[in-house]
Amino acid sequence: LDLVGVSTVHGNTSGDNTFANARACLAYLALAHVPCHKGQAKPLCRPEISCPEIHGQSGLDALDGSPLFPAAGPDACRVADENVRCIQAMYEAVVAANGAGRKLTLVATGALTNVALLLSVYPELADEAAHQFEVVLMGGCYGLGNTGPVAEFNIQIDPEAAKVVFESGARLTMVPLEVTHTALATAEVLSRIGEQTPLRAKLCDLLCFFKESYRSHFGFEDPPLHDPCAVAYVIAPALFEAEHIRVDIETGSSLCQGQTVCDRHNLKKKPKNATVCFSMQVEKFWDLMLDAIDTCEREREKQLSS
């Protein structure tokens, strides 16, 4: 994969925190050259909601409650031009990639506010004949939710944005909770990651923080790893069982706002609009993760020694 940019959005914590966390990650992980764009700080038309009980006050806490990565200094990594809006930068990245004969995939692992604005301002991105563009998102569920009875957090905090994205006509793949809840960081997985280097120790620290949160709130003995599942789909879609179906977003109900209504049997006879993943080859997923950690460590060593 060629990571051409990162944008941040409200959700696990405030917009300011997610931007600071993204910069800290890029600086620490030897990706300081990747431009980081500050996206939307609140939903399209609802009050902002965050989730400190799961992710800590910073949104990326270590087990002791401190931020996982050191804050990035003003010159530690590339900050995008503040005069260029996040969605404009996204659009320009699509055009540049397509101009070079490559597809651009937007991986959304938070609220879909930025993506909804992108597809509203540049609806031509949904035209597959004109643009090689795809959205792969971690979010939604077809059964039980996590922060609502039948709603997953990323969709629930801005359901109107999700509705815009799912009805945009853009090529779209959804990696829901039912899949990410199989990517459990078991004791065996933690042992494979190890703690013999600063990076590996931080990753284990993060997973152990998440483990305590998930155990106390959801009764999981081992924590699931959500967002990397969406990236894994981009790298190796053959690891997933998926179907192209109809998905609608509930925005009007006080009981189930943010529900992703997955019509797998086409009962409503509406046009299919999303590829939904239903299972993943978990062992091969963790092989990908461990390979990624190895690669990251090599790149960090190069940077630290230069």
Q: Which residues are catalytic?
A: 226
DSSP 221-253: SS-B--HHHHHHHHH-GGGEEEEEEEEEE--S-
Residue with tokens 């109900």: 253
DSSP assigned state of 123? G
Number of Cβ within 10 Å of residue 25's Cβ equals 18
User: How would you classify residue 238: left for phi > 0, otherwise alpha for psi between -120 and 50, otherwise beta?
Assistant: alpha
List b or e across 85-113, with b for residues whose CB sees 16 or more CB atoms inside 10 angstroms. Answer: bbbebbbebbeebbeeeeebbbbbbbbbb
Burial of 261 (0-12, 13-18, 19+ CB in 10 A): middle
Which value, in Å, is the radius of gyration of the alpha carbons in the chain? Answer: 19
- Residue 263's closest CA among 250, 246, 241? 246
**What are the strands of the beta sheet with 172-175, ordered from one edge?**
104-108, 133-138, 172-175, 274-280, 240-249, 260-263
Task: Tell me the residue type at 144.
Answer: L
Cα distance between residue 166 and residue 101, in whole Å: 26
Which residue is it, tokens 């409200």?
A: 10
The rounded Cα 174 to chain-centroid distance in angstroms is: 11
Which residues are paired to 105 by β-bridges?
134
Which two structure tokens, joined as six digits, stand for 55?
């992710």
Residue 175: name the closest of 147, 138, 141 by CA. 138
